[in-house]
Structure 1
Amino acid sequence: MMLLSYFGEPANYPFLVALLVVFILAAIEGVGAMIGAGVFGFLDGLLPDIDLGAELDIEFDAPDLQSPSITGEFLSWLRIGQVPVIFSLIVFLTAFGLIGLTLQGLCLSLLGTALSALWVALPTLFLSIPVVGFGNRFLAFVLPRDETSAISRDRLVGKVATITLGEARVNFPAQAKVKDRFGQTHYIMLAPDNESETYGQGDRLLLVRRSENIYFGIRPSSKALQ
């Protein structure tokens, strides 16, 4: 009963909500994996390109760190983009929730009462950041290569993508999936290059260009489909 009372404290709500969101995201991603759809794959497409340098000899979809800056070095240290974004988000929310509850438990033991959620959330956020970095490093090491061998998104141009969700028409891109030269599947937002055309789920388009986070495609020739 005391444990239930502790978790019911309003000061613990932000951390409990974070863990609840983790459960929901993991459940949705798990269902998506069983049906062969990367539900949150589009999140990776929201990150600009990054070249992490010659030591890795590979380009990652991640925040633009090409010009040296404190922010760039920080995000590079976190290994943002080396694993699917949804995994990094789950690591962060899990760390935030567990560390927050642990700190509140310590406050309760030492002070006899839990502190304001805001007072605990700030140090919890600070402590969660390095956990994301170490978590991304570990996931990049253990995940199969087809999940981690990311490439520059411009290199997807010339590949054939399949629309998986929605209807692609002018100003309204649909979700599509495309495989790179490593066999890794990328989920992208795709619109027709010809504004008068419309494509639906299951249609295959040849990617001819990219603008920001949107790819544009045309109906491929039979040779391109081989």
Structure 2
Amino acid sequence: MLLFTSYNEPYLFAISFILLIGLLEVISLLCGHLLSGALDAHLEHYDALSEGNIGQVLHYLNIGRLPALVALCLLAGYFGLFGILAQHGWVTFWQTPLNNGLLAPVSLVCAVVAAHYTGNAVAPWLPRDETTAITEDDYIGCMAIITGHAGKSGSPCEGKLVDKFGQSHYLLLEPEEGKEFNKGDKVLIVCRLSATRYLAELNPWPDVL
């Protein structure tokens, strides 16, 4: 089998891409960073990538369930493997290579399908980093305990919220017009009034929560 020939160039390039990514990942790790993590974080800032045809393609390749670089390496690896094996088989039986203008698209389609099913099988076994950070809007709908003195509309008091990660957050909470909070009251955060203040109401389910 003649591997390093001109008709195998597109597929050898795909294999070389995987080796290059591996090398860059090692270098970035030595520098205290993860290239795959940086790419995933960068992609999360582009909402357009999760919509339309592009979003469907990324979803099919399991990007989001898999680190983006892992998904791309699966795609490149299968593309290179299918192309090289197809050329080898064709040359073995017919003594002439296939036209890459025809083979490359077929190999790409096969690679996308193979990468999809491999990603589905691999994703549950890959460790995923989970953040314990929540945004201010995540406080809405949570229960809090009034820790400050009495609060009323226009005059908020301090409340303590413990999130699902066990972290404590101290917020300024105030009730609706005509109502009042006292220290120790359990309240439900209803909405955000400003950058620092939230509207809350007394626990509507005292027998449950």
1:62 touches 1:81 (CA, 8 Å); kept in 2? no
Task: State the alpha-carbon separation in 2 of the partners of residues 38 and 89 from structure 1.
Answer: 16
Aligned to 1:137: 120
5+ residue gaps, structure 2: 138-163, 166-209
Pairs aligned (count): 139
1:19 touches 1:97 (CA, 8 Å); kept in 2? yes
Counting only pairs closer than 5 Å after superposition, residues 90-169 of structure 1 correspond to structure 2 as: 90-146=73-129, 149=130
Task: State the alpha-carbon separation in 1 of the partners of residues 41 and 66 from structure 2.
Answer: 12
Task: State the alpha-carbon separation in 1 of the partners of residues 57 and 131 from structure 2.
Answer: 20
1:79 aligns to 2:62 (yes or no):
yes
1:88 touches 1:135 (CA, 8 Å); kept in 2? no
Alpha-carbon distance, 1:99 to partner? 0.8
Aligned to 1:64: 50
What is the TM-score of this pair, normalised by structure 2? 0.55
- Shift of the 81–107 alpha-carbon distance from structure 1 to 2, 3 Å rule, reads same
- Shift of the 104–24 alpha-carbon distance from structure 1 to 2, 3 Å rule, reads same
5+ residue gaps, structure 1: 51-60, 159-180, 183-226
1:47 touches 1:62 (CA, 8 Å); kept in 2? no
1:11 aligns to 2:7 (yes or no):
yes
Larger relative contact order (CA 8 Å, sep ≥ 6): 1
Task: State the alpha-carbon separation in 2 of the partners of residues 150 and 125 from structure 1.
Answer: 35
Percent identity over the alignment is 24
1:95 touches 1:128 (CA, 8 Å); kept in 2? yes
Alpha-carbon distance, 1:127 to partner? 0.3
CA RMSD between the two structures: 3.3
Query: Which of 71, 86, 108 does residue 88 from structure 1 map onto?
Result: 71
Code of the aligned partner of 1:107: W
- Shift of the 92–119 alpha-carbon distance from structure 1 to 2, 3 Å rule, reads same
Larger radius of gyration between Structure 1 and Structure 2: 2
